[in-house]
Amino acid sequence: MTMQPDPAESHPTTSAAPSGPPPRSSAFDDARMDAIMGRLLQVGVLLAASVVLAGGVMLVRTHAGERVDYRSFIARPLQLRHPAALLRGIAAGDAAAIVQLGILLLVATPIGRVAFAVVAFALERDRLYVAVSLTVLAVLLFGMLRGG
């Protein structure tokens, strides 16, 4: 189960290579792409979680005794098209703004993975999948900036 796949063998179209470091020509293939993507996602989540934790602890410390009520929905939209307000909040040390920054980092993590896939498929000269990942990226950015 935990067997390390030989990077050179991950895709049937890639020719078999002897064990050890793969030759430079086939240095970039699907297995390498997967490995980098996995690491990218892990680092992004770790970073986002740390920021959320820091902001969350501040939030609880400043409002520890206050009563909370989430029964009714009061929309407090985050205007992604106007990042200045969020930046002002972070600069002022506003705990809620720091948690929101962490959440934005978290959302950016899978988007970063798709952006990386565009580059990786381009390096593999796979034009079909460059187009496919660009489409996914466009939908993600539309969702992000259109904001409802």
Partner 1 sequence: MPLLLFTSLVFAGSFVAGLLGALTGLGGGVVLIPLLTLVFHVNLRYAIGASLVSVIATSSGAAAAYVRDGYSNVRIGMFLEVATTIGAVFGAYLAARVPTRALAVVFGLMLIYSAWLSRSQDAELVEQATPNPWSDKLRMSASFPDGNGGRQSYIVDRISWGFATMFGAGTLSGLLGIGSGAVKVLAMDKIMRIPFKVSTTTSNFMIGVTAAASAGIYLGRGFIDPGLAFPVMLGVLAGSLLGAKALVRSHVTLLRTIFAFVILALGIEMIVNGWLGKV
Near partner 1 in 123-142, by CB under 8 A: 126, 128-129, 132-133, 135-136, 139-140, 142
The span from the first CA to the last CA of the chain, in angstroms, equals 43
Neighbour tally for 125: CB within 10 Å: 7
Q: In this structure, what token pair is assigned to residue 107?
A: 């959302």
Instruction: Rank residues 26 and 109 by Cβ distance to partner 1 and give the closer one.
Output: 109
CB of 118 to partner 1, least distance (A): 10
Q: In this structure, what token pair is assigned to residue 64?
A: 């520890």
What residues between 1 and 60 interact with partner 1 by CB under 8 A?
A: 1-5, 9-12, 30-31, 33-35, 37-39, 41-42, 44-45, 48-49, 52-53, 55-56, 59-60
Q: Does 122 contact partner 1 by CB under 8 A?
A: no
With b for 16 or more beta-carbon neighbours within 10 A and e for fewer, the 40-76 pattern comes to: beeebeeebeebbeebbebbeeeeeeeeeeeeeeeee
What residues between 55 and 94 interact with partner 1 by CB under 8 A?
A: 55-56, 59-60, 63-68, 70-80
Q: How many residues bind partner 1 (CB under 8 A)?
A: 76
